[in-house]
Structure 1
Amino acid sequence: MGLLTETLPNLSLARPGLDRHAERRGEPDLVARLLADADTRVLVVRGDKVAVAIPGEGGSHDPALALRPPEESDSAALVLFLGQDGDGTAYLAVAEPAAPDGDADGGPTDGVDQWRSLRQIGADLSDRDATIFATALALSNWHATHTHCPRCGAATEPVQGGWLRRCPQDASEHYPRTDVAVIMSVIDDEDRILLARGAGWGTGRFSVLAGFLEPGESLAAAVAREVHEEVGLVVRDVEYLGDQPWPFPNSIMVGFTTRASSSELRLQESEIAEARWFTRDEYREILAAGQVSASTRLSIARRIIERWLGHDLDEVTPA
């Protein structure tokens, strides 16, 4: 698996952004020194949203993160060191609580910038900005849910530029967690794809199967187990396609395609509401008719389906 893969082209969040400069995380007073440098760029993460500069109608630029210089109040918040760009400019994230309900719609901040979630804007950002957003969101999510030591229960303290939490009572160190999930297209001998609707999903929302890696399990074994558990199929020829950070809240999605040994389904009703095999023409027809909804452009699920279909879902003309 190389650093970059073209197996799933244009996969959002999957390409490098900043140089993380992990060796700098242990520098004494790193965050304080960067906050004192007016050249440092700061991304404010407010809950799951950040400020984004969105061009007006007819604008010639793509949306971009609304980065700013450090402010005096930043030192009172959780500050995360994200890395540096090729010019040596350092980037920090400042994690703040979510906005009050009245401001949660992502309205304008100063008439130009608007608050957006990664799901809303990630596919439209540059590789650098999308990676900055994803990294900041994943780290802030981890800090929000790992405030106390799992050994003794004492409140832990962020150190190493936000890449570690240390317990002041027993000196134990706790690192950010990433949960690994496999996500896969299942193809039968007629070259049909299996799409399923999860329990609790709305009508018409179909996607590929996915599930979390279990302890002591290889990725290929997880693919085979999840498919068998959810739809009762035995699979073969598990092929890696690509992977994508998925900070909702702290995952990485590892994409595969696999072949089913039969087409007879046996659904796990607690997980799967319905599942269907689709030919390419059938899928195009019901997508054009609005009978199924496509996954967002941000997701690896969409790219996996497009790989099987042979073209971008945007090329399917509504009926």
Structure 2
Amino acid sequence: MVAVTSLGVVTYPHLDLARDPHDRLGLMRTDEGWLEERWDAPDALVLVVSGTRVRPVGGALDWLPTAKAPDGLRVLLGERDGTTYWAVITGPEQAAAEKEAWLPLRGLLPVLSGDRAHAPLVFHALGLAEWHWATRFCPRCGGRLVARAAGHELVCQDCGKPQFPRSDPAVIMLVAAGEPGSPQERCLLGRHPSWPEGRYSTLAGFCEPGETLEDAVRREVFEESGVRVGEVTYFGNQPWPLPSSLMLGFHARAETEDIRLDDADVEDARWFTREQMREGAESGSLVLPGGVSISRSLVESWYGGPLPGSW
């Protein structure tokens, strides 16, 4: 996705993560003969996941030949450029013993920034690893679950009910006020109490049952800042398996501007003009989200171009 602004053509990095997706080969997940054949292929590659963590080597992802993979749950990720990719999910013992070497997805984001071609594969692998980690027993009867369909399904051995991976829809929004495009136009950013001084981001929250995405935007903005939102327009989306979210990005127009902080998750919220945002980013007093985040793309699409600095 690109936008043409007064600063030229602006690309949105979070969409690079899905620009060239892998073929997930969903129809082949139950073909045991085909799965064994592709696992034994000399060019097949596997990512080892210990619990929910991955160990990069030399600042890069460590894709191994399948012949060197440890024992564990084999998960078919799919095919890209003729290569079949897998993940093997093992117990968390190795990651626990070598905690600094094995990173969760958030710790891997700097690695993925330099290897966006493989980012969708890693998101796929860790999303499934998180699901297997959290889904230990049948939610209907409490029975034992067994993996099938190359790691993409769990079935209860007692009642037979199948379970499938879930993605929780979460909205993330850039709220703006004032005449669009004018020097006085402002956008709303907030900060969590645990963040370092100067770090701000777009507001976000989960969609509730029976709620439209647009209404979730309006509700979350009001709950977190006290600002009323009217028009809501879709921007784009990003997989965000931390542990199982799909981030749906929106631009929103404020109908009120008075800020009231009643939500414990938001320590501060402020309006920023483009000039204030540029000055803060250049001086380091305003620290914005990293480049692989849809939040960064929302901010820069409103600002009209790249900004310095990031988390």
Q: TM-score range by the shorter chain?
A: 0.7 to 0.9
**Residue aligning to 2:293:** 299
Distance 1:43 1:176 in 2: 19
Q: Deviations over 1:158-182 (max 9, x none)?
A: 1001110011111110000111100
* Deviation of the 1:233 alpha carbon: 1.5
* Deviation of the 1:46 alpha carbon: 3.0
**Residue aligning to 1:17:** 21
- Kept after mapping to 2: 8 A contact 1:15/1:131: no
Matched, 1:28 2:23: no
Distance 1:283 1:188 in 2: 15
**Residue aligning to 1:174:** 163
1:240-319 alignment runs, 5 A limit:
240-314=234-308
Distance 1:237 1:225 in 2: 13
- Kept after mapping to 2: 8 A contact 1:198/1:273: yes
5+ residue gaps in structure 2? 4-10, 179-183
* Deviation of the 1:247 alpha carbon: 1.1
One-letter amino acid of the counterpart of residue 71, structure 1:
A
- Secondary structure, in 3 states, of the residue corresponding to 1:313? coil
**Residue aligning to 1:194:** 188
- Kept after mapping to 2: 8 A contact 1:31/1:79: no
Distance 1:292 1:47 in 2: 35
Matched, 1:232 2:221: no
- Kept after mapping to 1: 8 A contact 2:300/2:307: yes
- Secondary structure, in 3 states, of the residue corresponding to 1:23? helix
Q: Deviations over 1:146-201 (max 9, x none)?
A: 02111111220110011100111111100001111000001011410111112333
- Kept after mapping to 2: 8 A contact 1:42/1:94: yes
**Residue aligning to 1:133:** 122
* Deviation of the 1:30 alpha carbon: 5.0
Matched, 1:123 2:113: yes
Length, aligned pairs only: 294
Distance 2:100 2:298 in 1: 31
From the superposition, tell whether residues 14 and 191 of structure 1 become closer, same or farther in structure 2 (CA, over 3 Å): farther
**Residue aligning to 2:6:** none
Distance 1:304 1:72 in 2: 41
* Deviation of the 1:225 alpha carbon: 0.9
1:70-219 alignment runs, 5 A limit:
70-71=66-67, 74=70, 76-87=71-82, 89-98=83-92, 99-100=94-95, 103-106=98-101, 117-127=107-117, 129-189=118-178, 190-219=184-213
- Higher mean Cα deviation, 32-41 or 161-170? 32-41
- Kept after mapping to 1: 8 A contact 2:202/2:299: yes
Q: 1:37 aligns with which of 32, 37, 41?
A: 41
- Kept after mapping to 2: 8 A contact 1:157/1:168: yes
Distance 2:97 2:295 in 1: 33
Distance 2:193 2:130 in 1: 25
- Secondary structure, in 3 states, of the residue corresponding to 1:224? helix
- Higher mean Cα deviation, 263-272 or 214-223? 263-272
From the superposition, tell whether residues 193 and 179 of structure 1 become closer, same or farther in structure 2 (CA, over 3 Å): same
- Secondary structure, in 3 states, of the residue corresponding to 1:272? coil
- Secondary structure, in 3 states, of the residue corresponding to 2:64? coil
Q: Percent identity?
A: 35
From the superposition, tell whether residues 171 and 25 of structure 1 become closer, same or farther in structure 2 (CA, over 3 Å): same
From the superposition, tell whether residues 277 and 72 of structure 1 become closer, same or farther in structure 2 (CA, over 3 Å): closer
TM normalised by structure 1 equals 0.84
- Secondary structure, in 3 states, of the residue corresponding to 2:166? coil
5+ residue gaps in structure 1? 55-62, 108-114
Matched, 1:65 2:55: no
* Deviation of the 1:138 alpha carbon: 0.5
Q: How well do the aligned residues superpose, as a CA RMSD in angstroms? A: 2.4
* Deviation of the 1:272 alpha carbon: 1.4
- Kept after mapping to 2: 8 A contact 1:50/1:117: no
